[in-house]
Amino acid sequence: MSQPAPFFKTLLARPEAVLLFVLVAELVFFSAVGRNFNTADNFANIVRHSAEIGLLALVMMPIILTGGIDLSVGSLLGLCAVLFGVFTHEWHIATPLAAALTLVVGAAAGGLNGGLITGLRLPPLIVTLGTFSLFRGLAEAITKGTMTYKDFSPAFLALGHERALGLPYQGWLFIAIAVAISVLVHRTTFGRSFQAIGFSPEGARYAGLPVQRRIATTYVLAGFVAALAALVFTARLRQARADAGSGYELQAITAVVLGGTSIFGGVGTVGGTVLGVACVAVLTTGLKLIPAIALQGIGSELGSLLTGALLIFALAGGVLAKSLAARRARRQSLAKPQPQPIT
Amino acid sequence: MKRHSLIALLLALSAFALLGGCKDAPSGGSNNSAGGKKMTIALLPKSKGNQYFATVEKGARAAATELGADLLYDGPTNTDPAKQNEIVEGWVNYGVTVIAAACENKEGISAALKAAQDKGIKVVTYDSDTTTDARSFFVNQATAEGIGNTLMDEAARLTGEEGDFAIITATLTASNMNEWRKHIEARLKEKYPKMKLVDTKPCDDQKDKAQQEATNLLSAYPNLKCLMAICSPAVPGAAEAVKQAGKAGAVKVLGLGLPSENKAYVKDGVTQSVILWKVEDLGYLTIKAAAAVAAGSLKAGAAEFDAGKIGKMEIQGDNVLLGKPFIFNKENIDGFDF
């Protein structure tokens, strides 16, 4: 903090700074024109309605950071929700044990993705496209497409509905996972290898990193947290159905990419992903609270539209900023002949 | 690098905290109290992409304009109970006066609707009900008795109250259809002694299977006068079978379904009557009833409800009845697009 000028300069060059600006602008704008936007209830709604996608985004981030992708997390959420229903309602397992079992199954399903990708060297896009259908298909087969599990224990349902210190339980869960992933990715040698792998898999291998094992870990982690998201989703809706989490994988990827993580890997921060989740969540909820938009019944559609626009704007802005920086660097390189690392 | 990302994370989390910090502004209640202010009615369809609900919306808009109320119409693009809950929770926070919901999942949405009631928002349901403790009235588009009687009366009218007929249903266990069949058979026994129900076949809610079953029925019962299809895919299925057997007009076809799905067969004279309710009127009645509940003029125990231009509607228990089903035929089917 002793030299504020260079600190802010570097901060402003980061995509996170742009997103933070967007988020603050959203908050100011919706507070001014939205109806009951600035209320504890609305805050709770925003957190509750985006917690599952947020959790998926948090674990999608390390995968994308290694240059991979996981299209199966939404389907896995559905499968885990249904399995949790089977464990509690058909096998009559006590809720805590059933939840633990669900998390194990989620991690194992993630292990299947990771195993196929690293063991058989198949492209992540293809493998997870396969498990995207496989997991959803299994969930539908188990419930025959129609069955719904309901009547879960009140203590479990609290996870989806109660608050502590004004923040819904799933909000605390999101913060805990966000901090954990952030520490893993940015503060441990283990996690920092994700970035190295995404930046250059060959280079990482020559540097002696167990590349395949590290990559597999990110998918196991994604499976585990997808199962956690399934529990949150089930508690929030008080029911488990095979269609739970449909389309969530794309919304999670959107939040990650919006948060400044390069889809090619090697670049990105967990903080950016959190901001990406927050920007989309506030935007989609806020729009529905503007009376003129609500009366037209186009809140949801406008939400998707503006999220898409924001994503393209953020990506295009990033590319523009980079080329400007490169031009400036070229000019400066006459004085200091040090090539800038691409960030 | 790591320092910056940690700072970014902290900033992100504090942004969340900021959002939570400015809470407890005067909450919803102030601008939705019934007195004086413009009423805001929220209408939830099962899915926005469905022509049926687009027609409901049309009727609802007409009623809202008449009442001078604001109408919020929002729903999932496809049937999605999670999205329905989120929309209802958003409306509670928005501070609507009354919510009218068509429920994709009875139990799934009832807690969200109850939470709305706890905040002083009135709730009615239409088309598909929720649990009875989560709403004050259900606007019922058709009772089992109304559907059964109308189907039987129309079959009798088409055949001159004489001859053999057969029923095609979805499954032999579907509870709503068994209820209709019970009323069809009771009506038959009571009023049409010269008619005979020769067979009832299930089609698993599939058009192809319905066509197959109808073809089998036509050859098994050469004296068959009429095919009655009581699940919607079976109506065009039965019509196709009759058409291919070259018996159009000789064997009458009627059933419960959407006019749009049957328009071609009705115009060709293969299908005589399609039975459903007037969907636009359902939207109109729902909004009228929702507004009356919110204003306190429609209370539990009422026996009748005056729905303005569509007339007085009977109330059975906590069901507001839309009245007799409507019969779509060659003369009027062009006027409907759902």
A297·B74 Cβ contact <8 A: yes
Alpha-carbon span B83 to B129, nearest angstrom:
17
The Cα–Cα gap between A141 and B188 comes to: 41
Whole-number Å distance between alpha carbons of A174 and A180: 10
CB-based contact (8 Å) between A48 and chain B?
A: yes
User: Quick check: B86 and A49 CB within 8 A?
Assistant: yes
Q: Chains A and B: how many Cβ contacts under 8 Å? A: 147
Contact A186 B80 (CB under 8 A): no
Residues of A in contact with B114 (CB under 8 A): none
Q: Measuring CA to CA, which residue among B154, B147, B150 is closest to residue B178? A: B147
The nearest alpha carbon in chain B to A186 belongs to B2
- Partner-chain residue, chosen from B12, B23, B77, that has the shortest CB–CB distance to A271: B12
More confident residue, A338 or B330: B330
For residue B291, the number of C-alpha atoms closer than 13 Å in the C-beta half-sphere is 24
Chain A segment 244-273 residues within 8 A of B by beta carbon are 244, 246, 269-272
The domain locations on chain B are 30-142+279-323, 144-276
Unique residue bearing structure tokens 């989620």: A106
Tell me if A239 and B77 make a contact (CB, 8 A cut-off): no
Using CB atoms, pick whichever of A11, A167, A237 lies closest to residue B85.
Answer: A237
How far out from the chain centre does Cα A232 lie? 15
Inter-chain residue contact B27 with A39, CB threshold 8 Å? yes
Closest-CA residue in chain A for B41?
Answer: A295
What confidence tens digit (pLDDT) does each residue in B146-201 have?
Answer: 999 999 999 999 999 999 999 999 888 777 888 899 999 999 999 999 999 999 99
- Is A285 within 8 Å of B19 when comparing Cβ atoms? no
Per CB-CB distance under 8 Å, the chain B contacts of A282 are: 19
CATH code for the domain defined by A45-290+301-314: 1.10.3470
Q: What torsion do the CA atoms of B264, B265, B271, B277 make, to the nearest 10 degrees?
A: -30
Q: Give the per-residue pLDDT at B35.
A: 47
Domain ranges (residues) in chain A:
45-290+301-314
Q: Kindly report the CA angle at A328 between A324 and A333, in degrees rounded to 5?
A: 145
- Rounded Cα distance, A36 and A34, in Å: 6
CATH class of B30-142+279-323: alpha beta
pLDDT class for B48, splitting at 50, 70, 90?
confident
> Which of A20, A49, A186 has its CB closest to that of B5?
A186
What is the enclosing helix (H) or strand (E) of B222? none
Q: Do A271 and B5 touch (CB under 8 A)?
A: yes
Check: complex ipTM more than 0.90: no
Each residue's pLDDT tens digit, B222-246: 999 999 999 989 999 999 999 999 9
Query: Mind listing the pLDDT tens digit for each residue in A25-36?
Result: 999 999 999 999
Measure the CA–CA gap between B317 and B330, rounded to whole angstroms. Answer: 36
The pLDDT tens digits for B247-285 are 999 999 999 999 999 999 999 999 999 999 999 999 999
Query: Would you state the pLDDT for residue B23?
Result: 41
Closest to B293 in 3D by CA, of B69, B108, B75, B90: B69
Residue A322, pLDDT score: 77
Return the pLDDT at B39.
95
Show the 3-state SS of chain A: CCCHHHHHHHHHCCHHHHHHHHHHHHHHHHHHHCCCCCCHHHHHHHHHHHHHHHHHHHHHHHHHHCCCCCCCHHHHHHHHHHHHHHHHHHCCCCHHHHHHHHHHHHHHHHHHHHHHHHHCCCCHHHHHHHHHHHHHHHHHHHHCCCCCEECCCHHHHHHHHCEECCEEHHHHHHHHHHHHHHHHHHHCHHHHHHHHHHHCHHHHHHCCCCHHHHHHHHHHHHHHHHHHHHHHHHHHHCEECCCCCCCHHHHHHHHHHHCCCCCCCCCCCHHHHHHHHHHHHHHHHHHHCCHHHHHHCCHHHHHHHHHHHHHHHHHHHHHHHHHHHHHHHHHHCCCCCCCCCCC
Q: Provide, as residue numbers in chain B, all residues whose Cβ is less than 8 Å from the Cβ of A31.
A: 22
Q: If you count them, how many residues does chain A have?
A: 343
Q: Evaluate if residue B27 carries a pLDDT over 50.
A: no
What single-letter amino acid sits at B1? M
Write the Ramachandran bin of B103: left for phi over 0, alpha for psi from -120 to 50, otherwise beta. Answer: beta
Cα distance from B117 to chain A (closest Cα, Å)? 15
Tell whether A89 is within 8 A of chain B (Cβ): no
A294 closest CB neighbour out of B9, B85, B94: B94
Residue B201 is predicted with a pLDDT of 94
Residues B60-74 have a mean pLDDT of 96
Q: Is the dihedral of CA B258, B260, B261, B266 positive or negative?
A: positive
Q: Compute the mean pLDDT over every residue in chain B, rounded to the nearest whole number.
A: 88
The CATH class of B144-276 is alpha beta
pLDDT of residue B316 exceeding 80, the answer is yes
Inter-residue contact A42 to B93 (CB < 8 Å):
yes
Q: Write out chain B residues lying below 8 Å of A164, CB-based.
A: none
Nearest to B93 among A41, A243, A278 (CB): A41
Which residues does residue A149 pair with via DSSP β-bridges, in sequence order? A240
Q: Do A285 and B90 touch (CB under 8 A)?
A: yes
Residues of chain B neighbouring A269 (CB-CB closer than 8 A): 4-5, 8-9
Q: Which of residues 50-69 of A touch B (CB under 8 A)?
A: none
Which stretches in chain A have pLDDT values below 50? 1-4
Q: Output the pLDDT for position A30.
A: 96
